[in-house]
Structure 1
Amino acid sequence: MAAEPDSAVASEALLRPVRPGNAFEDTVGRLLQTIRLGVLAPGDSLPPERELAAKLGVSRDTVREAIKSLADAGYLVSRRGRYGGTFLTEELPAPTDAVRVNRAEIDDALRLREILEVGAARMAASRTLTAAEREGLWSRLADVRDAAPDYYRRLDSRLHLAIAEAAGSPSLVPLVAENRMRLNSLLDRIPLLRRNIAHSDEQHEGIVIAILAGDVEAAESAMRAHVEGSAALLHGFLG
């Protein structure tokens, strides 16, 4: 009979340094991987915050925010006292949809997003935008920054469509719109995390500023980091 996998070895492999640009999203994703892959079982305790921060290469504040977000989502619970700490809930949240999404579906939507939206940001930054296009980007950015949680994903999509429009290729817009529908159906299955929204808003601003400044490389880099942040959360929560 084959030996059971060593959970300590698996934990070390999963809890490795994250990418600096998406520290919060990657931390959430790594913690979820240890939960969803069974490295940590219901009722098990997480390593201490200091240890997690050292392993993941992030600040303790980032670890604390990730733990709070997963506690709000029903995956973790904190207990005080001599035997306190952060523990997996005894009953982990059930999927929000009865239909199981497989990794191939998620990867396909995310890869297409990277191709379309990173390219759109780069192309938009390379163009001389009209006053109406520049105003449209600022307006959509302001809308999503002020969005209430119930409207966030719709206004987020409008900003990304405005970036696609600014790329100057009418054929690109319906392709981005169709893939955004796929992405939103996936995003609707995972919790809306307040720290992720704040980070996304910062990234949105960086993308728009780079486009308006005509900085092609910065626009591409900022959009790629933004896409990777969403990917980390989707893979963490859904597979």
Structure 2
Amino acid sequence: MTADPDAPLEGQTEAAAEALLRPVRPGNAFEDTVGRLLQTIRLGVLAPGQSLPPERELAARLGVSRDTVREAIKSLSDAGYLVSRRGRYGGTFLADELPRHTGDTGRVTRDEIDDALRLREILEVGAAHMAARRTLTAAERERLWSRLADVRDSAPDDDYRRLDSRLHLAIAEAAGSPSLVPLLAENRMRLNALLDQIPLLPRNIAHSDEQHEAIVLAILAGDADGAAEAMRAHVEGSAALLHGFLD
């Protein structure tokens, strides 16, 4: 479903955008700008068909020149992630259908897989535990339930990875630590690059959906230990598949 291109960023989307579209390192301004924009796209912070913030706003958020932003947007447009439209309602928009990751990442080592997975366990189990300990607002509770429904209703061969990432980012935001979101997002990009190398198995997707529901229900019930254990089981399931296919 294509988003309203004129809709403002709000709620979880705006919070995640603020966390991800932060100042880049001066020495790699172009590369980091492309990377930050790709994070917002591939992790579902912006939906297909939705407009990017204006160049001036992006430049201010990222701490780079408008020329750097313009070059990054052109690169992502050439790669098929963005489209530019002219006229009164013009601007830069996410493509309605995003490219699938097809790059050759080369053979990964067990140590590289373990590093990404161990960091994931530290960040995501802790995020679920902390989110359950907080008194969430009605909006935060609805956001978690909505993100869960989006993943559960998605087709495994369509938009699953993006919507899955968006749910995990929402859990990180519910933990109440803004500094956690970019750390988790960076590691999700590493994990997604690994997961893109293995097939999507229908049974695993169904099991993941059950685990997602257990995690969210525990968070909403204020069961911190239950949320942490449910997230740990979820992480261990992904670990088993990655090691099974990639070791």
Instruction: Give the shorter-chain TM-score range.
Output: 0.5 to 0.7
Q: Which residue of 2 aligns with 1:102?
A: 109
Q: Which runs of 5+ in 1 are unaligned?
A: 1-95
Mapped to 1, the partners of 2:133 and 2:160 lie a distance apart of 28
Q: Which residue of 1 aligns with 2:164?
A: 156
Q: Which residue of 2 aligns with 1:67?
A: none
Deviations 1:26-50 (A, max 9, x none): xxxxxxxxxxxxxxxxxxxxxxxxx
Q: Which runs of 5+ in 2 are unaligned?
A: 1-101
- The reply on whether 1:235 has 2:224 as its aligned counterpart is no
Q: Following superposition, which runs of at least 4 residues in structure 1 exceed 3 angstroms of deviation?
A: none
Structure ID, larger Rg? 1
- In the superposition, the TM-score normalised over structure 2's length comes to 0.57
Structure 1 position 209, deviation (Å): 0.1
Structure 1 position 148, deviation (Å): 1.5
- The reply on whether 1:147 has 2:154 as its aligned counterpart is yes
Mapped to 2, the partners of 1:137 and 1:99 lie a distance apart of 35
Q: Given the superposition, is the C-alpha separation of residues 138 and 101 from structure 1 closer, same or farther in structure 2, using an over 3 Å criterion?
A: same
Q: Which residue of 2 aligns with 1:175?
A: 183
Match of 1:120 among 106, 109, 127: 127
SS in 1 for 2:154: coil
- Which structure ranks higher in relative contact order (CA pairs < 8 Å, sequence separation ≥ 6)? 1
Q: Given the superposition, is the C-alpha separation of residues 125 and 235 from structure 1 closer, same or farther in structure 2, using an over 3 Å criterion?
A: same
- The reply on whether 1:191 has 2:199 as its aligned counterpart is yes
Structure 1 position 144, deviation (Å): 0.1
- The reply on whether 1:134 has 2:141 as its aligned counterpart is yes
Match of 2:208 among 195, 200, 220: 200
Cα root mean square deviation, aligned: 1.0
- Give the length in aligned residue pairs: 144
Mapped to 2, the partners of 1:158 and 1:183 lie a distance apart of 14
Structure 1 position 172, deviation (Å): 0.2
Mapped to 2, the partners of 1:169 and 1:123 lie a distance apart of 9
Structure 1 position 212, deviation (Å): 0.2
Letter in 2 for 1:165: E
Match of 2:231 among 189, 205, 223: 223
Structure 1 position 98, deviation (Å): 6.2
Structure 1 position 124, deviation (Å): 0.1
Letter in 1 for 2:127: A
Match of 2:222 among 185, 209, 214: 214
- In the superposition, the TM-score normalised over structure 1's length comes to 0.59
